Chains A and B, each alone.
Chain A
Amino acid sequence: MTWYLIGGIFLLGMWGLLSKPNMVKKVMALSVSNSAIIIFFVYHGSLSGETAPIEGGGGPMVDPLPQALMLTAIVVGICILALSLVLIYRLYLQFGSLDIREVEKKAWKLYD
């Protein structure tokens, strides 16, 4: 059940990415999908044991590797998110619109 729920979050993000013309919404949708993948890893890791992966905690520990990997993935995701918001801000200053269709139309008209 949980697997399908996480898959649903992923697909929700993909739907937003495809159907929303607003650039901010597109980036947020991408971030939602990214989170879904991260939850995939963490949930899979959590099935492997019962306690936090600290020595002497008692009980079987969970696999620490997925958590470690996902810390990195989260950091990378934040970087991309921040950069894309900066780009959107710059684009808004240049074109006065957040609608990607309008922005693209104006941009390619500038040359050629």
Chain B
Amino acid sequence: MTEQLLPVFILLPLIGGALAMTGKLFRPLASLFRLFSLLPLLGVPALLVLTAPGVFSGQTLMVSLGGWPEPCGISLVMDGFAWVSAVLVGGIGLLVALFALSWPKYDSTFFLFYHLLLAGMYIVVFTGDLFTMFVGFEIIALAAYVLIAFEKTPTGLVASFKYLMLSSTGILFFLFGIFLIYRDLGTLSIAVVRDALAEAGGIRNTRIIHLALASLCVGIGVRTAFIPFHTWLPEAHAYAPHPVSALLSGVLIKISYFAMVRLLLQFGGAYLFDLLLWIGAVTALVAVISALAQSDAKRLLAYHSISQMGYILAVFSAGSAVALTASFAHALNHALFKTLLFLTVGTAVERGGDRNLYRLKPGGRQTPLFAAAYMIGALSISGIPPFNGYVSKNLITLGMKGSPAYILLWITGFCTLASFIKLSRIYLPGPKAAEKNLPDPVREDVKTIKRPGFSAGAAVTILAALCLGTGIFGFSAAGILHRLFYGVKIPVSLSLFSREKLFSLLPTVGLGIAVFFLVTSGKGKTLASRIKNLAPNLETVLMLFFTGLLLFSTAAYLP
């Protein structure tokens, strides 16, 4: 019976968007309607609780829309993966909306596209066929383009246009992959395609479907942002409004990654794992080196998103059951701490009026809550106990056991720490006198309020508490994830806070501090500005895209 609830997930954000737009009719009440538009999002946790018993008992909930059964109709499917993804979209979506609520410059139009983005993500999560997935991706893309350019800053516009060009090209190939599958198998339902492939003796026996799966992966790969498709992300995530950056980095790239995992597992794409493993590890390392070189606070965070996606992809491609759980655990943890980091750093940028982390005045004394929350986020992403990054990095170590690519991830670990020591100066307790120079927030124009309101504080507090909670109870949380995916107890044990584990962190911390001093030295800064200037323009971006396409197609045809 609970499967009838699945369309409601998609309906709720759409109602929210409609409510936000109603605020445009009654101008004086616009801010009230912004608040109302969040109410439907509160229904999502209830839906998740209602569907949980079915999913945890190992069922796959399925409903056909409009009474047309598969393979012609559109069906929505909820299994363990989809449930976890829905938790991610619902939770982070609500918290980021709370944050956006406290800044008046994000008006009704902003919330309309925000809700549209959430609806698109639910469509991608729950869809049972490839074409609806395509439509979901395009809804996400449309909303994301508008939101990135929402503040109409020149850089935001360019970033949005660059993202549009690259992801439209990617989605063209996605559509081409759909065409190849339809031509050969005459159906687009993921379950039916899976059965047809199994009947034909696996994907390795069907030469055209190889190419189709490679095209699908490339199309989704652009959204997931691993090398060589990562080039749009630093600009799009850095120059978007802060809540949008948080949502894009925290949730959107995970949703497309989950979609890719689903297709690869269902269609038997295990032959791509070797390629993905190295792509993931190289992505992690290259992106973190670029991040170390950045002086723009939000751009640094954006490069870290790519780097962490590299971790997630690499450990998934290690192939074992524990590796998949570790990959999802790190994806969820990354969603928590990266959202937290983008919101707190965004607040600092907003308050200081400058994005350069060397010019930005340290603001730990003015906004102590945000400074504390930022520190928790920074410690989480660097993998310091007892926060959640530490747990999932340990799980990744378990999942990658024996793989030669692990050394790249280990190097990434201490470089991450170094770049967050570098970023931390924006939240150091600054000089006391700085307080007086700030303009009085009451007298300012409503549109230019520089200080976060109550709901923003609540959002970051909840996120920080979650980072700590999933850090302390991290291993039990991973156990729940494993049970959800496979229906069995997680086959490894991990004593997270044993003495040896904690001592083994020492080299990482030491090297991190050493790298930090190297980067901030004179020579390091020259090298950094040279790396910074390597940021590719649109021509290079498109060439990289086609190189990646070639790579994936070749991998499909290798024996």
Query: A residues engaging B (CB < 8 A)?
Result: 17-18, 21, 23, 26-27, 30, 33-34, 37, 40-41, 44, 65-66, 69, 72-73, 76, 79-80, 83-84, 87-88, 90-91, 94-95, 100-101, 103-108, 110-112
Query: B residues engaging A (CB < 8 A)?
Result: 72, 131, 134-135, 138, 141-142, 145-146, 149, 152, 154-155, 157-158, 160-162, 164-165, 168-169, 172, 175-176, 179, 182-183, 295-296, 355-356, 532, 535, 537-539, 542-543, 546
Candidates A17, A87, A106, A112; contact of B160 at CB < 8 Å: A87
Point out the residues of chain A lying under 8 angstroms from B175, CB to CB: 34, 37, 73
Known: A17-B542, A18-B542, A111-B296. 6 other contacts (CB 8 A): A80-B142, A80-B164, A87-B145, A101-B539, A108-B155, A112-B356
Q: Contact: A104 with B542, CB < 8 Å?
A: no
Q: Contact: B154 with A100, CB < 8 Å?
A: no
A23 to B152, CA, bound (A): 18
Q: Contact: B142 with A83, CB < 8 Å?
A: yes
Q: Contact: A83 with B145, CB < 8 Å?
A: yes
Q: Contact: B135 with A76, CB < 8 Å?
A: yes
Candidates B134, B149, B356; contact of A87 at CB < 8 Å: B149
A15 to B128, CA, bound (A): 34
A87 closest partner in B (C-beta): B161
Candidates A17, A69, A108; contact of B535 at CB < 8 Å: A108
Q: Contact: A87 with B543, CB < 8 Å?
A: no
A84 closest partner in B (C-beta): B164
Assuming the contacts A66-B182, A107-B158, A110-B154, asked whether A37 and B539 have C-beta atoms less than 8 A apart, the reply is no
B173 closest partner in A (C-beta): A37
CB distance from A30 to the nearest CB of B (A): 6
Q: Which of A88, A90, A95 has the most CB of B within 10 A?
A: A90
A30 to B142, CA, bound (A): 16
Q: Contact: A87 with B296, CB < 8 Å?
A: no
A90 to B156, CA, bound (A): 11
Q: Contact: A101 with B537, CB < 8 Å?
A: yes
Point out the residues of chain A lying under 8 angstroms from B155, CB to CB: 107-108, 110-111
CB distance from B270 to the nearest CB of A (A): 28
Point out the residues of chain B lying under 8 angstroms from A26, CB to CB: 165
Candidates B131, B161, B164, B543; contact of A18 at CB < 8 Å: B543
B179 closest partner in A (C-beta): A40
Assuming the contacts A87-B160, A107-B158, asked whether A80 and B168 have C-beta atoms less than 8 A apart, the reply is yes
* 3 tightest Cβ-Cβ pairs between the two chains A and B: A107-B158, A76-B138, A94-B154
CB distance from A96 to the nearest CB of B (A): 11
A83 to B138, CA, bound (A): 12
Q: Contact: A37 with B158, CB < 8 Å?
A: no
CB distance from B489 to the nearest CB of A (A): 43
- Chosen A-B contacts, 27 in total, with CB atoms closer than 8 Å, are A27-B165, A30-B169, A34-B175, A37-B176, A40-B176, A41-B182, A44-B179, A44-B183, A69-B131, A72-B131, A72-B135, A73-B175, A79-B138, A79-B142, A83-B164, A90-B149, A90-B157, A91-B157, A91-B161, A94-B154, A101-B537, A101-B538, A103-B158, A104-B162, A110-B155, A111-B296, A112-B356
Point out the residues of chain B lying under 8 angstroms from A69, CB to CB: 131
Point out the residues of chain B lying under 8 angstroms from A88, CB to CB: 161
Point out the residues of chain B lying under 8 angstroms from A101, CB to CB: 537-539
CB distance from B547 to the nearest CB of A (A): 12
A88 to B164, CA, bound (A): 11
Point out the residues of chain B lying under 8 angstroms from A94, CB to CB: 154, 157
A21 to B72, CA, bound (A): 42
